[in-house]
Structure 1
Amino acid sequence: MQLVTWNTQWCCGLDGKADPKRIVDGARALAGPGGFDVLCLQEIAQGFEGLQGAPRDQPEQLAMLLPGYQLFFGAAVDEYVPGASGTLQRRRFGNLIATRLPVRQVEHHRLPWPADSAVPSMPRMVTAVTVEAPGLGLVRVMTTHLEYYSPRQRMAQAEALRALHAEACEHATTPPAPSEPQLPFFAKPHTAQAILCGDFNLAPSEAEYATIQRAEAAAHHRWHDAWPLVHGDAPHAPTFRLFDRTYGPEPISCDFCFVDTTLVPHVRDIRVDGATRASDHQPVGLVLG
C-alpha cells in the first residue's frame, strides 16, 4: 500500500502559480511506477480566488486529474462571505483524501478550537477514510492539518487525535450490537489498523509530538511515528522551509506519518521528496507491505 501526504499550500508553488496537476504529478513521481493507492492533501481551496495564484475549484480539478480514484473533501473552513456582486458566496478550505482502494466508511471530525485572542487561527479537522488494502485488510486513513500560530490550540488538537484513535480501537474490539442492514444503525467497519498523516505544524522535539504518541493506560494501541521505524535515529528529513524561509530561518520537519501498533511490522519505507518546489512543503511517501 502506497500513501503520499502533502501540504499543498492550495497547490501554489514557489513560483506563485496554483497548479493542481503539478501536485498530482509530483505525488505520482514520489510513489514510483506503481503509483499511489491513497493521496492525502492538506490546504485544498474552493472559492478562495483571492489567494496567491487565484486557485479555482480544486476538489473539482483534482477529481478530473485522478480518474479511477474516489475523492473525499473535508472542509475545516466552510463559510459564506459577500462576493463582488453583493451576494453571499461559499468558500471552503481543508483536507482531501483520494484513493483507488475500495472504501468502506468516511468520517469527518472537527478538532478542538479553544479561544486564543493573541494570534490568528482557523478551524481544524481530520478526515478519516476506511479502505480495504490488499494484504492488510481494513485500514483507517486519517489526514489532518493542525494549528500553526497557537500552541494551546495545537496541544488540544494533538490530545483529540489520540482520543479519536482510542475510541475507534474500542469500537473495533467491542463493536455495537447488530442491527438490520437497511438501518443507519447497521454495524460499521471499525478497525484498529490506522494511519495518521498530514502537516502537524510541530517539530519532533515539541511536546505535542510526544502527546500524539502517548499510550493510554493498559492500552495496546497507540500512534508510532513511521520515520524512526525505517531510519532509526537518523533525523527526520525536512519538509518545510527547505526553500522558502518566510516562516523561519531553518528547514524543519513537521509533516509526519504515524501508524497504529498493529501496522508497525508492515512499515516498509518512508521518504521525502526534497527537490520539488510545487508547494512550500515537501511531500512524504509511506509504503506498507
Structure 2
Amino acid sequence: MLRIITWNIQWGLGIDGTVDLRRLVDEARAIADFDVLCLQEVSDNFSDLKSNDGGNQFAELAGLLPNYTAVEGVALDIPDGAGRRRRFGNMILSRQPVGQVLRHTLPWEAAPTRNMPRLLLEATVETPSGPLRVMTTHLEYSSDKLRRAQVEGIREAHRCACERVATPREDGPGTYARLPTSASAVLTGDFNMRPPDPVKQRISEHFDHEVPALLDAWQVVHGAQPYPTSFCLFEQSNGPPHCCDFVFVTDDIAPRVRRISYDQETQASDHQPVLLELDL
C-alpha cells in the first residue's frame, strides 16, 4: 500500500495563530504512516507572513523527516533587499526512493488581480510495482483566467511525460542518462476551485494519443457523494467552508485506489489534509 498525504500547510500557521511545523508533521503522521507527503505554501525567509519567524521551512521540514527524500519546488524566488533570497512554494517528501525531479513553471499571464508565479513539482517515486510520477501544485487564488492557463500547463506537462514514455529518448552518459519513468501519475494540491468549476473539470478531460486521463480520486471512490470540507472549516475569513484541495490519479491506476479521506479534525493549518491510499 502506498499512502500519500497532500496538505496546504499555510507555512505551518495553525488556527490558534501559532506556526509549528513539528506539530504539523506529527498530525500528518497521526493520520497515516505516509510514504509521500505533498505540501503547499512552504516558505523561506518570509518573516512578514503572519507569525512566521523567517526560517527556512524547506530545510526544517527535511530535518523533521530525515528518512525521507526532500524535494523543493520554489515557485516564488525574490530578493529580500538585504542580500538574501525569499522563497515560497511546494515540497514533496518521499520515504520511497526518488528518481528524476522536474519543476514546471506554470503559465503566468497578465492579470490585474493580486497574483504570483506558480509551479508544478514532479518527482518520480520508485514504488514496489514500478515508478510513479507524483505531482503537486498550488494554483492562483484570485484569477480564473490564471487558473485556466495553469491547468493547461499541467495538462501539457502530463501529456509530454506520457509521450516521453511512449517514445523513449536515446540513452547516454552523464547528463543524458535516461532514468525510469511512467505514464502513471498522481496529481495533488490546492487548486483554489470548488468541485463544480469547469476549470477544475478540465483537468480530467480526455487526452489524444492514448495519454491516460487524470481522474478525481474522490469521484473514483465515492461517485457523486459531496466532497468533505478542505478549506475554511474552522475559520471563515476567506469564505464559507468548502473543498478546493483534490487528488487526481491516472485512469490506469484508478482501480487501485483503496481509500481517499479528508481529515476534519486537525487545526494545524487553514486547510485540511487529504489522504490517498493506493494498492501498489
Normalising by structure 1, we get a TM-score of: 0.93
Say whether residues 1:100 and 2:95 are aligned partners: yes
C-alpha distance in 2 between matches for 1:218 and 1:108:
24
What are the equivalent positions in structure 2 for 1:1-289 lying under 5 Å apart?
1-31=2-32, 35-55=33-53, 56-82=55-81, 87-117=82-112, 119-134=113-128, 136-179=129-172, 182-248=173-239, 250-289=240-279
Q: Report the CA distance between 1:188 and its aligned residue.
A: 3.0
Query: Identity percentage over the alignment?
Result: 45
Structure 2 contact 163–211 (Cα < 8 Å) conserved? no
Say which SS state the counterpart of residue 53 (structure 1) adopts: coil
Structure 2 contact 46–87 (Cα < 8 Å) conserved? yes
Structure 2 contact 99–125 (Cα < 8 Å) conserved? yes
Say which SS state the counterpart of residue 167 (structure 1) adopts: helix
* Structure 1 counterpart of 2:26, one-letter code: D
Relative distance call for 1:220 and 1:79 in structure 2 (3 A) is closer
* Structure 2 counterpart of 1:54, one-letter code: N
C-alpha distance in 1 between matches for 2:67 and 2:107:
34
C-alpha distance in 1 between matches for 2:144 and 2:179:
35
Instruction: After the TM superposition, list the runs of 4 or more consecutive aligned residues in structure 1 that deviate by more than 4 angstroms.
Output: none
Structure 2 contact 159–211 (Cα < 8 Å) conserved? no
* Count of residue pairs brought into register by the alignment: 277
Deviations 1:173-204 (A, max 9, x none): 1111232xx33122232210100001000011
* Structure 2 counterpart of 1:108, one-letter code: R
Structure 2 contact 8–190 (Cα < 8 Å) conserved? yes
Structure 2 contact 98–124 (Cα < 8 Å) conserved? yes
C-alpha distance in 2 between matches for 1:244 and 1:97:
27
Structure 2 contact 185–249 (Cα < 8 Å) conserved? yes
Structure 1 contact 220–261 (Cα < 8 Å) conserved? no
Q: Report the CA distance between 1:125 and its aligned residue.
A: 0.2
C-alpha distance in 1 between matches for 2:80 and 2:38:
27
C-alpha distance in 2 between matches for 1:233 and 1:211:
17
Structure 2: runs of 5 or more not aligned: none
Relative distance call for 1:185 and 1:12 in structure 2 (3 A) is same
Structure 1 contact 169–190 (Cα < 8 Å) conserved? no
* Structure 2 counterpart of 1:46, one-letter code: D
* Structure 2 counterpart of 1:27, one-letter code: A
Structure 1: runs of 5 or more not aligned: none
C-alpha distance in 2 between matches for 1:176 and 1:286:
32
Q: Report the CA distance between 1:104 and its aligned residue.
A: 1.2
